[in-house]
């Protein structure tokens, strides 16, 4: 739905001037989508916190198991002591049986009390063993879940590193010419300066930029589990063009959309995996206080994100 709305916005902007009311409605829809993206990031942070809490709970279970093991060992030792005492009293009972009925009666009472105590200890020991088995099962379940989380995260990290290297190799000829590839927060960021893609005030991609994007599209088509977000960014200079593009918001959206159109000329790259977004001048990398800094902020970022559905499903299944 988010991609459909963004494409609709791009279509309206490229065909004719929109009314103020329509523009405001589209802006509101864009703000809603931005909020949804923030909520998704918050959910990702919540999942990370839940993983930390799970590890803490596993630590607590381990400590509980150790206490139960120690308690069980002590109970066994006490039971053996009581058994020894019982055996001694039995011998005394046999001796007293032949000598004094009064002592026999007293010994019988002591023997009964001892038997009752042994029965109680056996019952407590069984309860502790049951509790220990339950804690062990919980520990094993938590360990298996944590290992699965680590496996999924490790696989995703490997995928991201692989994609980053493939992208860097495919765009090697453009490194140092307005293009950088790096990783942040488990994602690959391909940043292309406007000097590589666009003439000032234009949203038509330059020939050299088209080559870079076509090379990138080939890598993206080979990695089907990667989601692609194309973000257009401007500096804070007001847009002075005389066309259907009225401001930096419009300009950033048009540039992002045109980059997407070039990427999807690769027939193997599913358009459903791509989202185009305009950020205007509102997400600068540096202060817009010099021509050099403004050139840095005028950029298009292509953000590659691994598929997190398997990790999300595992976390939700453990709640």
Quote the tokens at residue 313: 């499903």
Residues 121 and 187 in one domain: no
Residues 197 and 150 in one domain: no
Indicate whether 75 belongs to any domain: yes
Residue-wise pLDDT tens digits, 99-120: 767 766 777 888 888 888 888 8
Residue 43 confidence (pLDDT): 81
- Across the range 25-41, mean pLDDT stands at 84
CATH of the domain at 181: 3.30.1330.60
The residue among 163 and 274 whose pLDDT is bigger is 274
Residues 217 and 84 in one domain: no
Indicate whether 42 belongs to any domain: no
- Across the range 230-250, mean pLDDT stands at 89
Indicate whether 71 belongs to any domain: yes
Residues 80 and 114 in one domain: yes
Is residue 203 within 8 A of residue 251, CB to CB? The reply is yes
- Across the range 110-134, mean pLDDT stands at 84
Residues 188 and 228 in one domain: yes
Residues 140 and 177 in one domain: no
Last residue of a domain, one of 137, 159, 181: 159
Which of 134-138, 216-220, 244-248 shows the lowest mean pLDDT across its residues?
A: 134-138
Residues 115 and 194 in one domain: no
Count structural domains, the chain.
2
Residue 255 confidence (pLDDT): 96
User: Is residue 198 over pLDDT 90?
Assistant: yes
How many Cβ atoms sit within 10 Å of the Cβ of residue 316? 10
pLDDT interval class at 189 (50, 70, 90): very high
Residues 174 and 312 in one domain: yes
Residues 234 and 282 in one domain: yes
**% of the chain at pLDDT higher than 70:** 82
Residue 311 confidence (pLDDT): 46
Domain interval for residue 195 = 2-12+166-317
Residue 151 confidence (pLDDT): 64
Last residue of a domain, one of 159, 182, 214: 159
pLDDT interval class at 230 (50, 70, 90): very high
Indicate whether 249 belongs to any domain: yes
Quote the tokens at residue 110: 């002591």
Which of 5-9, 72-76, 132-136, 281-285 shows the lowest mean pLDDT across its residues?
A: 5-9
Residues 100 and 233 in one domain: no
Indicate whether 88 belongs to any domain: yes
Residues 173 and 145 in one domain: no
Residue 150 confidence (pLDDT): 60
Last residue of a domain, one of 159, 182, 201: 159
176: alpha, beta or left, given left = phi > 0 and alpha = psi -120 to 50? left
Indicate whether 209 belongs to any domain: yes
Choose from 25-34, 221-230, 259-268 the range with maximum mean pLDDT.
259-268
Indicate whether 34 belongs to any domain: no
Indicate whether 269 belongs to any domain: yes
**pTM value > 0.75:** no
Residues 117 and 195 in one domain: no
Which is it for strands 274-278 and 226-233: parallel, antiparallel or unpaired?
Answer: parallel
């Amino acid at each position: 739905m988010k991609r459909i709305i963004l494409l609709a916005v791009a279509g309206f902007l490229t065909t004719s001037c929109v009314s103020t009311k329509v523009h405001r409605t589209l802006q509101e829809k864009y703000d809603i989508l931005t909020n949804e993206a923030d909520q998704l990031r918050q959910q990702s942070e919540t999942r990370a916190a839940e993983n930390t809490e799970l590890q803490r709970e596993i630590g607590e279970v381990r400590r509980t198991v150790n206490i139960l093991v120690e308690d069980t060992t002590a109970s066994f030792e006490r039971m053996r002591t009581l058994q020894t005492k019982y055996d001694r009293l039995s011998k005394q009972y046999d001796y007293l049986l032949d000598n004094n009925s009064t002592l026999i009666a007293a010994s019988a009472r002591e023997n009964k009390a001892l038997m009752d105590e042994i029965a109680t200890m056996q019952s407590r020991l069984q309860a502790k063993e049951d509790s220990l088995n339950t804690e062990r099962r919980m520990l094993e379940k938590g360990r298996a879940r944590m290992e699965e989380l680590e496996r999924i995260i490790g696989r995703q990290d490997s995928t991201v590193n692989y994609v980053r290297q493939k992208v860097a190799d495919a765009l090697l000829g453009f490194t140092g010419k307005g293009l950088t590839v790096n990783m942040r927060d488990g994602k690959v960021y391909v940043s292309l300066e406007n000097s590589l893609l666009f003439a000032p005030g234009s949203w038509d991609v330059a020939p050299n930029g088209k080559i870079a994007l076509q090379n990138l599209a080939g890598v993206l088509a080979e990695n089907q589990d990667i989601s692609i977000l194309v973000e257009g960014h401007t500096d804070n200079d007001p847009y002075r063009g005389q066309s259907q593009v009225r401001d930096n918001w419009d300009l950033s959206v048009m540039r992002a959309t045109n980059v997407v159109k070039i990427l999807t000329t690769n027939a193997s790259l599913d358009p459903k995996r791509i989202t185009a977004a305009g950020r205007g001048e509102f997400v600068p990398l540096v202060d817009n206080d010099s021509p050099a800094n403004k050139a840095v902020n005028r950029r298009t970022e292509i953000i590659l994100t691994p598929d997190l559905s398997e990790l999300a499903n595992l976390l939700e299944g453990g709640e």
